[in-house]
C-alpha cells in the first residue's frame, strides 16, 4: 500500500513542527510507521530528527553568501531552488517503506503556498496520495475578524494547491473553554459567525470581513475545525481518522 502524505501548513508560529512531531509519535504509539520530511531550509532547530531534510540539499546560509542576499531574499530563492532538487528529494522519500509521510512546510507559509513551483513540488513528492493539514492559529482565530482571516487563508491555500484540506485549530490547550466553544460554533454555524462579527464592531474592516464571509459561504469554503493539541494529544486520532476518510475511504492501514 502506497504511503499517505500529509503536509502541515500554517502561518508562522501556528505550531506546524510541533504538531508534525506529535502526530509522528501518535502514529508510532498506534503501531503505524511514519517518516518526517523537513521542507524549511531556514529552520534552526526541530523537535524531531527529520528522515529527509531539505537542508541536505539547500542551506539558507550558503544561499545568502553565494548570492549576496538577506534572510528574506534567500528564503525566496531557496523556495525556488527546492523545485530544482525535488525529484532527488522525492526519490529519497520513496525509498522508505512507510504508512505516512509527514511533511513540515516552511515557517513562512507564503514561501510554500504562493510560489509557482509549489504545485510541481507536491506532484513530484506525493502525487494524489496527499492531504493538507491547515493550522488555525488560536491567537488569531478567537475573534470573529481573526477567524474570518484564518478562513480566507485556509481557502486560499486549498484553491492554490488543489489538495484535500483538513482545518485544524492548533494549540487548543491555550484557549479558554469559552473561546473554544465560540470557535466551534463559528465553524459550524455561518450565521453565528456573522452575528458575532456584526456585534463585535461595525467599521470598515467589519464590512470587508462580512463580504468575504459571504463569498466564502457561497463557494462552500470553511466547515468545522478540529481542535488539536500537540501537548495534550487531543485531536491526533481525529487527524488520522479524517485523513484516512479522505485517502482510503475510512479504511485503517493494515498493521
| CATH code assigned to 4-248 | 3.40.50.300
Q: Which three cell numbers stand for residue 43?
A: 529552520
Q: Strand pairing of 4-10 and 130-136?
A: parallel
Mean pLDDT score across all residues of the chain: 88
Residue-level pLDDT at 131? 95
Residue-level pLDDT at 36? 97
List, for residues 3-60, the tens digit of each pLDDT value: 899 999 999 899 999 999 999 999 999 999 999 999 998 888 899 999 999 999 998 8
Q: Which three cell numbers stand for residue 168?
A: 485544524
User: What's the gap between Cα 144 and its chain centre?
Assistant: 21
Task: Record the pTM.
Answer: 0.90
Q: Does residue 222 have a pLDDT over 70?
A: no
List, for residues 135-191, the tens digit of each pLDDT value: 999 999 999 989 988 988 898 898 889 899 999 999 999 999 999 999 999 998 888
Q: Where are the domains of the chain?
A: 4-248
Residue 134's DSSP bridge partners are 9, 167
Q: Give strand ranges (E) for 30-129.
A: 34-38, 52-53, 100-104
Amino acid at each position: 500500500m502506497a504511503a499517505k502524505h500529509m503536509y502541515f501548513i500554517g502561518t508562522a508560529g501556528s505550531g506546524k513542527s510541533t504538531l508534525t512531531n506529535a502526530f509522528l509519535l501518535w502514529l508510532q504509539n498506534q503501531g503505524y510507521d511514519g517518516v518526517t520530511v523537513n521542507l524549511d531550509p531556514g529552520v534552526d532547530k526541530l523537535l524531531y530528527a527529520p528522515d529527509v531534510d531539505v537542508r541536505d540539499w539547500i542551506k539558507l546560509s550558503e544561499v545568502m553568501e553565494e548570492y549576496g542576499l538577506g534572510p528574506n531574499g534567500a528564503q525566496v530563492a531557496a523556495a525556488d531552488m527546492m523545485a530544482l532538487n525535488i525529484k532527488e528529494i522525492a526519490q529519497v522519500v520513496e525509498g522508505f517503506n512507510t504508512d505516512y509521510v509527514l511533511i513540515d512546510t516552511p515557517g513562512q507559509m507564503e514561501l510554500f503556498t504562493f510560489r509557482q513551483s509549489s504545485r510541481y513540488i507536491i506532484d513530484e513528492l506525493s502525487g494524489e496520495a496527499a492531504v493538507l493539514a491547515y493550522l488555525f492559529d488560536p491567537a488569531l482565530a478567537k475573534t470573529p475578524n481573526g477567524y474570518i482571516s484564518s478562513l480566507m487563508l485556509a481557502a486560499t491555500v486549498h484553491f492554490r494547491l488543489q489538495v484535500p484540506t483538513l482545518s485544524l485549530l492548533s494549540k487548543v490547550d491555550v484557549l479558554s473553554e469559552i473561546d473554544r466553544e465560540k470557535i466551534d460554533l463559528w465553524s459550524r454555524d455561518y450565521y453565528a459567525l456573522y452575528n458575532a462579527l456584526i456585534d463585535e464592531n461595525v467599521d470598515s474592516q467589519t464590512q470587508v470581513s462580512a463580504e468575504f464571509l459571504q463569498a466564502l459561504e457561497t463557494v462552500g469554503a470553511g466547515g468545522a475545525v478540529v481542535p488539536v493539541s500537540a501537548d495534550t494529544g487531543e485531536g491526533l486520532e481525529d487527524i488520522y481518522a479524517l485523513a484516512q476518510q479522505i485517502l482510503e475511504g475510512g479504511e485503517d492501514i493494515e498493521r
